[in-house]
Amino acid sequence: MKLILFIGIGGFFGAIARYALSSATHAFFGGRAAGFPVGTLAVNLLGCLLLGFAVRCLSGRFPVIRELELALTVGFFGAFTTFSTYAYDTLLLAEQGRYAGMILNLLLSNGLGFLAVWGGWRLGALM
């Protein structure tokens, strides 16, 4: 139960940080920057950079208690952007030499993710 609490606290702050950064980026670029979701891109790229940095540091140089690690990685970054987790999982496959799995993850996550959003969109239109 203690782990869930730590993850929830991290997720609370991650969700707020996502909204704040996305809103600030949109405001800076004057809306959606000619129709492009620049706020989402900024959140995803920053999330990837910070998750990679955090995981690398926490796994070696600066070990912390498991609760804090999960609060940051699963909680904060999980709420900030799941894209960073997807990118990290893909990196792990490449680091393990599992290139077929890496390519499959890229194709399935993007292709099926797009189809799932489209399918949900279409289902929502039926309501």
Domain ranges of the chain: 2-80
Q: Over range 98-108, report the average pLDDT.
A: 93
What pLDDT sits at residue 3?
93
The pLDDT tens digits of the residues spanning 48-92 come to: 889 888 888 887 777 788 899 999 999 999 899 888 888 988 999
Q: Please count the CA atoms within 13 angstroms of the CA of 29 that sit on its side-chain side.
A: 17
Find the largest Cα–Cα distance for the chain.
53
| Cβ-contact 64, 58 below 8 angstroms | yes
One-letter amino acid at 107 equals L
| Cβ-contact 42, 22 below 8 angstroms | yes
One-letter amino acid at 59 equals S
One-letter amino acid at 12 equals F
Running DSSP on this structure, what letter comes out for residue 74?
A: I
Q: Over range 8-33, report the average pLDDT.
A: 88
CA 46 and chain centroid, separation: 9
What pLDDT sits at residue 59?
78
Q: Cα–Cα distance between 58 and 56 in angstroms, integer?
A: 6
Q: Cα–Cα distance between 78 and 1 in angstroms, integer?
A: 18
H helix runs in the chain, sequence order: 2-28, 38-58, 66-70, 77-80, 82-95, 99-126
